[in-house]
């Protein structure tokens, strides 16, 4: 019973060396920040997907472009990423139409949509680099804490006349907790990064396809 209590997770953390405790604290903070980014990014991507579905249904339902543009340009109304891309292209097209060459008007509208597309992609990809860094670095940070703790445990054996497994086990166990915490921080970050990167790529393909299709519509209307 006493041995089990001495080797509990909380006891091991409390008895760890200062360096190992600092590594554990850093990994816990990183893990909390990682989970915060995972939830916020997951909700943002889900919202972007729903808004894109809604606007695509409205756009391809045969609604007039002028009404869609009026709704998209309304400052009181919350719009989605694809609708903002449409609004940027339509605004530029209406601004340039009749002022010069028709091809220049179409190119200007396409450039405006591309600029809006890049802004939306930057917003969607925000904090993905943080998740990638957590997934790749956390195991090594935990391993550093483990190596340091094992070195400290074996160094302590020099003061013992007879070294046994019982004397070195607590030190090694507390050191291995750092690796466990590092993996706990890294695994969800890697899984979330791969999932979010896939979802963002699919949204990017839908945005690019819409830009090309809408450009064809504008070309027929010029």
- What residues make up the domain containing 184? 2-221
* Higher local confidence (pLDDT), 205 or 17: 205
Show the CA angle centred on residue 187, arms to residues 184 and 190, nearest 5°. 145
* Spatial distance between the Cα atoms of 191 and 6, rounded to a whole number of angstroms: 34
What would the mean pLDDT of 127-143 be, rounded to a whole number? Answer: 93
**Segment 163-197, tens digit of pLDDT:** 555 556 666 777 788 889 999 999 999 999 999 99
Q: Give me the number of domains the chain comprises.
A: 1
Nearest to 184, CA basis, from 41, 44, 29: 29
Q: Please report the pLDDT score of residue 167 as a whole number.
A: 59
Find the distance separating the first CA and the last CA of the chain, reported in whole Å: 83
Spell out the residues 6+ positions from residue 115 whose beta carbon is closer than 8 angstroms to its own.
88
* Spatial distance between the Cα atoms of 86 and 218, rounded to a whole number of angstroms: 11
Question: What secondary structure does DSSP assign to the chain, as a single string?
Answer: -HHHHHTSHHHHHHHS-HHHHHHHHHHHHHHHHHHHHHHHHHHHHHHHHHHHHHHHHHHTTT--HHHHHHHHT-TTS---HHHHHHHHHHHHHHHHTTTS-HHHHHHHHHHHHHHHHHHHHHHHTTTHHHHHHHHHHHHHHHHHHHHHHHHHHHHHGGG-SS--HHHHHHHHHHHHHHHHHHHHHHHHHHHHHHHHHHHHHHHHHHHHHHHHHHHHHHHHH-
96 — pLDDT class (breaks 50, 70, 90): confident
**Cut 0.85: pTM above it:** no
């Amino acid at each position: 019973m006493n041995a089990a209590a001495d080797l509990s997770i909380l006891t091991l953390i409390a008895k760890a060396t200062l360096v190992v405790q600092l590594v554990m604290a850093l990994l816990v903070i990183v893990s909390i920040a990682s989970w915060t980014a995972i939830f916020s990014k997951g909700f943002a991507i889900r919202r972007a997907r729903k808004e894109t579905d809604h606007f695509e249904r409205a756009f391809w339902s045969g609604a007039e472009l002028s009404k869609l543009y009026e709704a998209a340009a309304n400052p009181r109304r919350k719009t989605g990423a694809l609708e903002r891309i449409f609004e940027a292209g339509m605004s530029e097209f209406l601004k340039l139409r009749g002022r010069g060459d028709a091809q220049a008007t179409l190119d200007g509208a396409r450039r405006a949509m591309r600029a809006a597309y890049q802004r939306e992609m930057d917003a969607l990809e925000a904090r993905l680099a943080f998740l990638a860094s957590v997934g790749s670095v956390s195991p090594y940070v935990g391993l550093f804490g483990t190596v340091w703790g094992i070195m400290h445990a074996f160094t302590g054996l020099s003061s013992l006349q007879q070294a046994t497994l019982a004397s070195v086990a607590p030190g090694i166990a507390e050191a291995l907790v750092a690796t466990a915490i590092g993996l706990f921080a890294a695994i969800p970050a890697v899984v979330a990064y791969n999932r979010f990167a896939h979802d963002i790529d699919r949204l990017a393909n839908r945005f690019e396809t819409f830009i090309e299709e809408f450009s064809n519509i504008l070309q027929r209307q010029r």
